[in-house]
Structure 1
Amino acid sequence: MRFRIFVVDYDVERRWHAELPEDPGFFLSLLWESAADGGGPLGDFFTWREPENDGWLAVNTRWFVESVERVAVRNYPLSDQDWAHIDTLQEEGIHQRDDGWPDEGLLVQADYEVQVTDPRWLEHLWPGLSWETGYYPDPTRRLRAEDAPHVPDLTEPEAVLTPFAGSDCSDSIVVLAFSDDGRFLAVTSEDGELAVYDADNRSERLRVSPVSAGRDIMWVPGRHVVTLKEDEDDEVRPWAYDLDADTETDIPVEPGRVRSRTGCFRVEYGDGGQVHFVSGQSSPDRTVRLGDESAGRIRDVTFSADETRMFVAHDSKVHVIEPATGRVLDTITVPGDWLNSLAASPDGAYLAVRRRTGPMSGSAHLTSTGSPTVSSSCDALRGTAHRPGSVPSPSRGHPTAPGWRPSSRTKFISSASACQPSHQPVSSSPSTTEIRDDASAGTVFHSDHGASRTP
Structure 2
Amino acid sequence: MSTDMYGVRVLAVDPDELRARFQVFVVYYDTGSRTHTPLPNEEPNTFLHFLWEAASGYLDDGDERKGPLGHVVSTDQLLDYEWADTNARRFISRVERVERRNYPLSDKQWEDMHDFYHERGGSWQDEDLLIQAEYEIQVTDRRWLEPLSVGDGWGSAAFPLNGDSWTAEDSPHIPDLARPAVTLRPFETTTGSVTYDHINGMDFSDDGTYLALCSDQGRVWVYDTADWSEVVHTRADGWLVPLMMWVPGGHILVVKDYSSGNEPEEEKQWAYDVDRRAETEAPFQAGNLRSRDGTYGISPNRAGEGGFDLHGDEREPSRRLSHAGTWDPIQCTAFSGDSSRLFLGAQQNLYVVDPMAGEVIDKVDHASKRLFTLASNEDGSYLAIGSFSRKLSYLEFGQERPHELCVWRMADKKIILGRQLRSYVDALSWSPDNRCLAAALEPLSKQSFHRGKTEVAIFPMGPVDD
Residue 242 of structure 2 is aligned with which of 215, 219, 223? 215
State the match for 1:379 in structure 2: none
Whether the aligned pair in 2 keeps the contact of 1:171 and 1:189 (CA below 8 Å) is: yes
State the match for 2:98 in structure 1: none
Whether the aligned pair in 2 keeps the contact of 1:168 and 1:419 (CA below 8 Å) is: no
Q: Is the aligned partner of 1:147 residue 2:170?
A: yes
1:268-279 alignment runs, 5 A limit: 268-269=299-300, 272-279=305-312
Whether the aligned pair in 2 keeps the contact of 1:272 and 1:297 (CA below 8 Å) is: yes
Aligned pair count reads: 359
TM-score, length basis structure 2: 0.63
Q: Distance in 2 between matches of 1:151 and 1:275?
A: 28
C-alpha spacing 1:142/1:208, structure 2 compared with 1 (3 Å): closer
Whether the aligned pair in 2 keeps the contact of 1:168 and 1:418 (CA below 8 Å) is: no
Q: Distance in 1 between matches of 2:79 and 2:322?
A: 42
Whether the aligned pair in 1 keeps the contact of 2:386 and 2:405 (CA below 8 Å) is: yes
Residue 158 of structure 1 is aligned with which of 181, 187, 191? 181
The one-letter code of the counterpart of 1:433 is V
For residue 360 of structure 1, report the CA deviation from its aligned partner.
5.1
Q: Distance in 2 between matches of 1:240 and 1:46?
A: 53
Q: Is the aligned partner of 1:231 residue 2:258?
A: yes
| Segment of structure 1 superposing worse, 407-416 or 168-177 | 168-177
Deviations 1:310-341 (A, max 9, x none): 11112222211111221211112354222111
Q: Distance in 1 between matches of 2:366 and 2:122?
A: 43
Whether the aligned pair in 1 keeps the contact of 2:333 and 2:374 (CA below 8 Å) is: yes
For residue 223 of structure 1, report the CA deviation from its aligned partner.
0.7
State the match for 2:129 in structure 1: none
C-alpha spacing 1:390/1:23, structure 2 compared with 1 (3 Å): closer
State the match for 2:461 in structure 1: 438
1:93-112 alignment runs, 5 A limit: 94=119
The one-letter code of the counterpart of 1:364 is L
The one-letter code of the counterpart of 2:323 is L
Residue 367 of structure 1 is aligned with which of 408, 411, 415? 408
State the match for 2:418 in structure 1: 391
State the match for 1:349 in structure 2: 381
SS in 1 for 2:321: strand
Whether the aligned pair in 2 keeps the contact of 1:152 and 1:391 (CA below 8 Å) is: no
C-alpha spacing 1:243/1:180, structure 2 compared with 1 (3 Å): same
C-alpha spacing 1:349/1:245, structure 2 compared with 1 (3 Å): same
Whether the aligned pair in 2 keeps the contact of 1:182 and 1:199 (CA below 8 Å) is: yes
Residue 25 of structure 1 is aligned with which of 35, 45, 59? 45
Residue 205 of structure 1 is aligned with which of 231, 237, 242? 231
Q: Distance in 1 between matches of 2:416 and 2:370?
A: 16
Unaligned runs of 5+ in 2: 1-5, 11-21, 26-39, 65-72, 96-116, 124-137, 143-153, 393-399
Deviations 1:154-192 (A, max 9, x none): 232111111124997734321110100001001122222
Whether the aligned pair in 2 keeps the contact of 1:360 and 1:421 (CA below 8 Å) is: no
Q: Distance in 2 between matches of 1:420 and 1:402?
A: 24
C-alpha spacing 1:31/1:257, structure 2 compared with 1 (3 Å): same
Deviations 1:58-78 (A, max 9, x none): x6534x548799xxxxxxxxx
Work out the percentage of aligned pairs sharing the same amino acid: 26
1:25-104 alignment runs, 5 A limit: 25-26=45-46, 28-29=48-49, 43=76, 47-48=80-81, 57=85, 60-62=87-89, 65=91, 94=119
Q: Distance in 2 between matches of 1:276 and 1:389?
A: 31
State the match for 1:291 in structure 2: 324
Q: Distance in 1 between matches of 2:333 and 2:315?
A: 21
Residue 327 of structure 1 is aligned with which of 354, 359, 366? 359
State the match for 2:108 in structure 1: none
**Runs of 4 or more above 6 Å deviation:** 30-34, 37-42, 66-69, 136-141, 166-169, 426-429
C-alpha spacing 1:7/1:60, structure 2 compared with 1 (3 Å): same
Q: Distance in 2 between matches of 1:93 and 1:171?
A: 56
Q: Distance in 1 between matches of 2:43 and 2:352?
A: 30
For residue 258 of structure 1, report the CA deviation from its aligned partner.
0.5
The one-letter code of the counterpart of 1:314 is A
Deviations 1:365-412 (A, max 9, x none): 100110xxxxxxxxxxxxxx21114511355x2333111000233221
The one-letter code of the counterpart of 2:88 is T
Deviations 1:430-455 (A, max 9, x none): 31111121169xxxxxxxxxxxxxxx
Q: Distance in 1 between matches of 2:286 and 2:233?
A: 25
Residue 243 of structure 1 is aligned with which of 267, 274, 281? 274
Unaligned runs of 5+ in 1: 1-5, 11-15, 52-56, 70-91, 96-100, 104-111, 117-130, 371-384, 441-455
C-alpha spacing 1:419/1:234, structure 2 compared with 1 (3 Å): farther
